[in-house]
């Protein structure tokens, strides 16, 4: 796809259209010139502010007509007017069709995170129910297919059913496969080494193919019926089971007939419980939108194989900023879609780019026909959307709308509670941020086991919530093992050393370089006077404000709720109170730093203990000798502290090799 250099139209562009841009515009002349020279071709446009931040990403069937419409009108004090007033530069990319424009637009929205686009964050991949070993194979385990939970890329050699909205839904389906069709769930190594049936056979959840209690042919019938059931052919499965049962009875094979009778009864019970789902729709997604208090929720409910599998809520960002920016369509006419319609349109466009789309969508708001056409082209299946459904579809949509309202109410309650905690902490510590939403807190903790695998953690609280993507771990070395003060000194210097130097130079020059980070409004240290004193020394060395440092000192008996706050700038200790909202927030951040440090330390310790650290890099040290060394000295740290004479006492370690180990670890 060719990229325009903003002002140069492609050679094959149609003749320029005369576009009158507002003479009252405060935009740079170069920007207005670029807008006037745009071609009348499909493409994607991006607006930037004076600092280079992306404001908005949009698509157009006619770039010239669409982009010019932003600058031809006086949008007043609307959100679109606010955005247009910030535009300092634009970039455009010409594509061949509206479908390409839509795909590129939503990929750029996810990559650039523009402020005036409704953005749905990438969620974890959806889970599937996986049936392995369905195809014929020489191995015994592959002759008897296994049903399992799966999340990841699909492979052609296995059969996958889903996606499911949650892991719970998959596990419920697996339990159903066990109850009705008695399919195995054990791993192949366990299956291949069984000598007697397991507990699942005893409780009638498995037919014990591992020990030959069922033939390959009969088991293959069960697998085929399970797959047909998952695809929505429950009635045909029932008829097939009943026919096989009667055939066994006619041949006086009553034991086999009884087994099939039990299967029929179990399946009948399942169908009775899920009778509401016995409709003509096989695969449907139900999408309901709820907007309130500047936030939005899209509730996605899934129907697969005619069965309602559950739902999942999605909460987009930038809803308030983006509202109103979409007030014009590509023809320049005022379309004025509702906020709910804008949110739903953004969800459908972004969500189904990389997720399989079912042939039917039941939606609470109308969906653009061109978008459905693009989804159909991309998936190879005609996708339809029903806005005002009837009968069972209406029931599904009402359920989804109810759940969307409940999930949004829960989110608003949680955010209100978290904002109240942030406000309480700011008041308690006399913090005065210009915007409470921008209050940033960083918390540090040190973790190790008797000095081994020391790790420091830094967690970040911003926008009233923990920012997992900004967490950092620091491996601590070059200190006396177990010296927490030295570890704290090292991590603070590494965290703020370069930033402090950059800010010092910026203060002298009077200009802050683009991309420079910012100091937090509060630095929490998990510890009392000792750790706070060390943090004070570091901040004095770096020339940073001491009032930022607050230590969280454990109270009497180390009981939760009795913590006191210790200040580096000489203020007296503060006890916020056991039921204080401010203390709850401090404890939440402190506990998260502790959790993050411990998990990092344990992972590092496991790597050292299992892999042997540098031992495996020493010539002559194989798995057996490494294991003997670690067993004798209790770990790599113990080996490193041992003398060459002590190392030589280990069986299989010569004097020369012992000296080589001693030198390598020191």
Q: What is the pLDDT at residue 438? A: 87
On the question of a cis peptide bond just before residue 163, with omega within 30 degrees of 0, the verdict is yes
Q: What is the pLDDT at residue 401? A: 92
Q: Residue 141: pLDDT above 90?
A: no
Q: Residue 213: pLDDT above 60?
A: yes
Interacting residues of 355 by C-beta distance below 8 A, sequence separation 6+: 126, 163
pLDDT (mean) for 134-142: 49
Q: What is the pLDDT at residue 457? A: 92
Rounded Cα–Cα distance for residues 581 and 586 (Å): 9
pLDDT band, residue 30 (cuts 50/70/90): confident
φ and ψ of 400, to 5 deg: -65, -40
pLDDT (mean) for 328-337: 50
Query: Dihedral sign, CA of 221, 226, 232, 238?
Result: positive
pTM metric for this prediction: 0.63
pLDDT (mean) for 605-628: 67
Q: Residue 133: pLDDT above 90?
A: no
Q: What is the pLDDT at residue 338? A: 83
pLDDT band, residue 589 (cuts 50/70/90): very high
CB 524 within 8 A of CB 530: no
pLDDT band, residue 333 (cuts 50/70/90): very low
Query: Alpha helix (H) ranges present in 212-337?
Result: 216-230, 234-250, 254-273, 319-322
Please report the DSSP string for 597-631 in residue order.
HHHHHHHHHHHHHHH-GGGGGSTT--HHHHHHHHH
Q: What is the pLDDT at residue 335? A: 53
pLDDT (mean) for 348-373: 88
Token representation of residue 351: 């969500």
pLDDT (mean) for 478-501: 89
pLDDT in tens, 65-124: 888 888 877 766 677 788 888 888 899 999 888 888 888 888 888 888 888 888 887 665
pLDDT (mean) for 188-209: 86
pLDDT band, residue 431 (cuts 50/70/90): confident
Greater model confidence, 359 or 121: 359
Query: Dihedral sign, CA of 658, 659, 660, 665?
Result: positive
CB 323 within 8 A of CB 345: no
Question: Of 189-198, 317-326, 386-395, 567-576, which gets the smallest average pLDDT?
Answer: 317-326
pLDDT band, residue 397 (cuts 50/70/90): very high
Give CA 360 to chain center in angstroms: 26
Q: What is the pLDDT at residue 45? A: 93
Token representation of residue 21: 């841009």
pLDDT (mean) for 363-377: 88
Mean pLDDT for all residues in the chain: 80
Q: What is the pLDDT at residue 107? A: 85
Q: What is the pLDDT at residue 493? A: 93
Q: What is the pLDDT at residue 481? A: 81
Token representation of residue 413: 């309650």
Shortest CA distance to 589 belongs to which of 444, 429, 487?
444
CB 452 within 8 A of CB 640: no
Token representation of residue 139: 């191995």
Question: Of 191-205, 273-287, 615-629, which gets the smallest average pLDDT?
Answer: 273-287
Interacting residues of 317 by C-beta distance below 8 A, sequence separation 6+: 118, 119, 121
Beta strands 452-462 and 127-132: pairing type?
unpaired
pLDDT in tens, 513-541: 666 678 899 999 988 888 999 999 999 99
């Amino acid at each position: 796809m060719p990229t325009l250099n903003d002002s140069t139209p492609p050679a094959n562009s149609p003749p320029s259209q005369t576009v009158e841009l507002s003479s009252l515009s405060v935009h740079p002349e170069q920007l207005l010139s670029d807008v006037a020279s745009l071609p009348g071709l499909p493409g994607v446009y991006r607006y930037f502010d004076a600092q280079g931040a992306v404001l908005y990403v949009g698509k157009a069937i006619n770039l010239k007509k669409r982009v010019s419409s932003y600058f031809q009108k006086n949008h007043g004090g609307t959100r679109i007017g606010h955005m247009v007033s910030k535009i300092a530069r634009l970039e455009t990319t010409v594509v061949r069709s509206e479908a390409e424009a839509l795909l590129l637009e939503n990929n750029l929205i996810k990559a650039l995170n523009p402020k005036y686009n409704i953005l749905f964050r990438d969620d974890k991949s959806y889970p599937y129910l996986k049936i392995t070993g369905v195809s014929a194979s020489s191995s015994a385990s592959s002759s008897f297919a296994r049903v399992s939970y799966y999340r990841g890329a699909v492979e052609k050699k296995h059969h996958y059913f889903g996606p499911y909205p949650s892991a719970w839904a998959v596990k419920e389906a697996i339990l159903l496969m066990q109850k009705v069709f008695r399919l195995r769930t054990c791993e192949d190594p366990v299956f291949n080494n069984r000598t007697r049936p397991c507990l699942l056979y005893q409780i009638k959840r498995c037919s014990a193919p591992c020990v030959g209690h069922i033939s390959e042919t009969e088991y293959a019938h069960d697998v085929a019926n399970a797959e047909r059931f998952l695809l929505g052919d429950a009635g045909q499965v029932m008829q097939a089971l009943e026919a096989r049962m009667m055939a066994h009875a006619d041949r006086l094979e009553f034991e086999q007939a009884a087994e099939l009778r039990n299967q029929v009864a179990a399946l009948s019970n399942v169908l009775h419980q899920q009778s509401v789902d016995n409709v003509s729709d096989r695969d449907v997604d139900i999408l309901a939108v709820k907007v309130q208090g500047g936030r939005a929720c899209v509730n996605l409910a899934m129907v697969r194989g005619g069965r309602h599998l559950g739902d999942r809520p999605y909460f987009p960002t930038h809803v308030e900023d983006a509202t109103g920016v979409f007030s014009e369509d590509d023809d320049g006419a005022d379309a004025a879609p509702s906020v709910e319609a804008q949110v739903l349109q953004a969800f459908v466009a972004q969500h189904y780019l990389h997720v399989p789309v079912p042939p039917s969508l039941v939606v609470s708001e109308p969906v653009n026909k061109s978008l459905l056409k693009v989804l159909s082209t991309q998936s190879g299946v005609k996708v339809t959307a029903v806005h005002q459904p009837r009968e069972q579809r209406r029931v599904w949509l009402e359920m989804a709308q109810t759940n969307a309202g409940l999930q949004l109410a829960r989110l608003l309650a949680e955010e209100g509670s978290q904002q109240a905690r942030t406000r309480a902490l700011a008041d308690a510590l006399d913090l005065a941020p210009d915007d409470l939403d921008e209050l940033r807190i960083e918390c540090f903790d040190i973790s190790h086991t008797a000095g081994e695998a020391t790790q420091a953690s830094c967690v970040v609280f911003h926008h009233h919530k923990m920012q997992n993507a900004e967490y950092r771990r620091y491996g601590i070395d070059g200190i006396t093992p177990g010296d927490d003060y030295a570890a704290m000194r090292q991590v603070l210097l590494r965290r703020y050393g370069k930033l402090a130097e950059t800010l010092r130079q910026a203060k002298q020059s009077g200009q802050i370089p683009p991309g420079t980070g910012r100091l937090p409004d509060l630095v929490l240290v998990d510890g009392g006077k000792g750790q706070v004193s060390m943090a004070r020394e570091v901040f004095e060395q770096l020339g940073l404000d001491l009032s930022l440092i607050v230590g969280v000192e454990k109270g009497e008996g180390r009981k939760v709720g009795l913590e006191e706050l210790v200040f580096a700038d000489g203020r007296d200790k503060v006890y916020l109170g056991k039921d204080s909202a401010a203390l709850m927030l401090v404890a939440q951040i402190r506990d998260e730093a502790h959790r993050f440090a411990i998990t990092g330390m344990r992972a590092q310790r496991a790597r050292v203990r299992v892999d042997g650290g540098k031992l495996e890099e020493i010539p002559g040290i194989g798995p057996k000798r490494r294991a003997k060394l670690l067993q004798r000295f209790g770990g790599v740290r113990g080996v490193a502290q041992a003398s060459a004479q002590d190392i030589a006492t280990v069986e299989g370690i010569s004097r020369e090799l012992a000296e080589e180990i001693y030198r390598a670890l020191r």
